[in-house]
């Protein structure tokens, strides 16, 4: 399937693939009569335009029926029995789903080599908080109805919840450096806790929050949740990868038993170093598979550090079929323009791949602190709740990322269960039944 065909199928939605022959993507007026809806190409895909700075959308963006479009013009007309649309929602969706702008704007990267969310068209255009690709799908189905085609809207509600946790460090006081820090605080209570954890029970460590996380996650309907812990087995030579995780050691063995008993799965947390040197992904995956004792098919990069489009191929080469990296570190929202899982479109090769991208709805560290959004707890909850409502309206998937270390702090220890409560009570995702 070509990327253009895939985008149209994606816009129509799951279960509506039979409508594809009714939708044309052509500027040849002689062909309009063959379709019920025609989307007129904007020129985005033309040779000499595609891949150049001239192909980037210009701000401010026009809107069609209240939805911002990146290409084309907000004009819809009837030509005979055909609805002809000049808003190029195909190119607009392709741009977002493939992360095209990151290919064209390679010089725009932050200190960690990542494309900053605030530099994205979605953020600068004011729609980072909206899954506009899914809104394009609603528009397309509406245009088909205008043309006399009977097509319903997909059911609203959240289809699946991915409750994910990155294990950057399993415990604070299982390392001499952590113990030394506790002793320097001159708090007898904290020093005793550090020494007791270092020489004794792992479960007493402040970062060993895994039982609590499993308890919170377990309140979501078991039929619609997937709990994933991403473990980092590599990257020992990089400061950003410290502390190095000995995934074959006794402590991780105990964690893995706990996760299995709790019905959770493990994915690869490709190291910061692997973000720069993607050839390391296969080696890190093999290390984790030996320690876990099973096949690893999911990945999320440490620091959300997916740098260049070509680096995605390393995941495929290593046997990774699902990636959960695609969210911005500096601003929460819909990086791919959608709240649904999508096959990765390689914008360099302009072809489909076998890698499924699961959009990240929000990461804990994006919300608080001074580096990124800097929201207080109440404002952060309101922001996340709106993202969840947008996802529910579009019948999409939620993907949350909370670290085991972050919930050791009061801010996230209170915020995370509040978000779970909202999904259970307001969105009907609890184990007691669906609303």
Q: Can you give the three-state secondary structure of 416-432, one letter per residue? A: HHHHHHHHHHCCCCECC
Pair 136, 93: CB distance under 8 Å: yes
pTM of the model: 0.93
**According to DSSP H, which parts of 187-280 are helical?**
188-199, 210-217, 250-261, 272-276
Residue pLDDT, tens place only, 35-68 = 999 999 999 999 999 999 999 999 999 999 999 9
Find the length of the chain. Answer: 435
Give the pLDDT confidence score for residue 198 in this predicted structure: 55
Give the pLDDT confidence score for residue 193 in this predicted structure: 60
- Whose CA is closest to 374, among 345, 408, 411, 340? 411
Helix (H, G, I), strand (E, B) or coil at 138: helix
Give the pLDDT confidence score for residue 434 in this predicted structure: 44
Which residue do the tokens 């289809």 mark?
Answer: 159
One digit per residue, the tens of pLDDT, for the chain of length 435 reads 999 999 999 999 998 989 999 999 999 999 999 999 999 999 999 999 999 999 999 999 999 999 999 999 999 999 999 999 999 999 999 999 999 999 999 999 999 999 999 999 999 999 999 999 999 999 999 999 999 999 999 999 999 999 999 999 888 766 545 545 555 555 666 655 655 565 557 777 888 999 999 999 999 999 999 999 999 998 767 788 888 778 888 889 999 999 999 999 999 999 999 999 999 999 999 999 999 999 999 999 999 998 999 999 999 999 999 999 999 999 999 999 999 999 999 999 999 999 999 999 999 999 997 789 999 999 999 999 999 999 999 999 999 999 999 999 999 999 999 999 999 999 999 986 444
| Distance set, CA 406 to CA 6, 127, 308 (Å) | 38, 28, 28
Rounded to whole angstroms, how far apart are CA atoms 98 and 106?
14
Residue pLDDT, tens place only, 399-415 = 999 999 999 999 999 99
Residue pLDDT, tens place only, 52-61 = 999 999 999 9
Which residues on neighbouring strands pair with residue 401, listed in sequence order?
164, 363
Rounded to whole angstroms, how far apart are CA atoms 70 and 92?
5
Give the pLDDT confidence score for residue 194 in this predicted structure: 57
Phi first, then psi: give them for residue 343, nearest 5 degrees: -70, 135
Long-range (24+ apart) CB contacts under 8 A made by 409-415 are: 411/368, 411/377, 412/364, 412/368, 414/377, 415/364, 415/367, 415/377, 415/380, 415/381
Rg, Å, the chain Cα set: 23
Rounded to whole angstroms, how far apart are CA atoms 255 and 257?
5
Pair 320, 299: CB distance under 8 Å: yes
Output the six-digit token pair for 432.
């007691």
Strand ranges inside 96-172, DSSP E: 160-167
Output the six-digit token pair for 380.
């952060």
Pair 407, 163: CB distance under 8 Å: no
Give the pLDDT confidence score for residue 175 in this predicted structure: 57
Pair 226, 324: CB distance under 8 Å: no
Pair 329, 303: CB distance under 8 Å: yes
Phi first, then psi: give them for residue 268, nearest 5 degrees: -75, 130
**According to DSSP H, which parts of 339-376 are helical?**
364-367
Rounded to whole angstroms, how far apart are CA atoms 63 and 120?
18
Which residue do the tokens 């013009």 mark?
Answer: 73
């Amino acid at each position: 399937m070509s990327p253009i065909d895939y985008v149209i199928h994606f816009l129509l939605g799951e279960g509506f693939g039979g409508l594809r022959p009714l939708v044309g993507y052509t500027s040849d007026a002689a062909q309009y009569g063959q379709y019920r809806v025609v989307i007129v190409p904007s020129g985005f895909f033309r040779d000499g335009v595609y891949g150049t700075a001239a192909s980037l959308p210009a701000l401010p963006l026009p809107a069609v029926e209240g939805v911002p479009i990146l290409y084309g013009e907000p004009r819809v007309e009837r030509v005979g029995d055909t609805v002809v649309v000049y808003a190029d929602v195909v190119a607009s969706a392709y741009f977002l789903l493939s992360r095209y702008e990151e290919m064209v704007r390679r010089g725009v990267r932050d200190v960690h080599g990542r494309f900053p969310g605030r530099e994205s068209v979605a953020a600068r255009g004011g729609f980072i908080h909206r899954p506009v690709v899914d809104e394009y799908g609603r528009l397309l189905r509406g245009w088909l109805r205008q043309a006399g085609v009977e097509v319903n809207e997909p059911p609203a509600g959240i289809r699946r919840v991915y409750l994910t946790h990155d294990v950057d460090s399993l415990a604070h006081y299982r390392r001499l450096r952590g113990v030394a820090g506790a002793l320097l605080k001159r708090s007898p209570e904290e020093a005793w806790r550090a020494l007791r954890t270092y020489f004794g029970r792992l479960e007493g460590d402040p970062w060993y929050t895994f039982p609590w996380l499993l308890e919170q996650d377990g309140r979501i309907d078991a039929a619609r949740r997937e709990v994933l812990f991403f473990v980092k087995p590599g990257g020992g030579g990089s400061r950003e990868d410290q502390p190095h995780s000995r995934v074959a050691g006794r402590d991780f063995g105990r964690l893995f038993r706990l996760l299995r008993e709790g019905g959770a799965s493990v994915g690869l947390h490709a190291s910061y170093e692997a973000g720069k040197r993607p050839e390391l992904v296969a080696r890190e995956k093999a290390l984790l598979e030996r320690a876990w004792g099973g096949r690893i098919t999911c990945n999320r990069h440490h620091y959300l550090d997916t740098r260049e489009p070509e680096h995605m191929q390393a995941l495929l080469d290593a046997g990774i079929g699902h990636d959960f990296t695609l969210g911005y570190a500096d601003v929460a929202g819909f990086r791919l323009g959608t709240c649904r899982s999508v096959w990765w479109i390689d914008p360099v090769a302009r072809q489909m791949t076998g890698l499924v991208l699961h959009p990240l709805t929000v990461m804990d560290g994006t919300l608080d602190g001074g580096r990124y959004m800097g929201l207080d707890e109440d404002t952060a909850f309101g922001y996340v709740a709106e993202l969840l409502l947008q996802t529910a309206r579009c019948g999409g998937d939620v993907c949350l990322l909370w670290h085991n270390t972050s919930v050791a702090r009061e801010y996230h220890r209170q915020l995370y269960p509040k978000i779970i409560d909202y999904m259970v009570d307001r969105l009907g995702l609890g184990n007691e039944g669906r609303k």
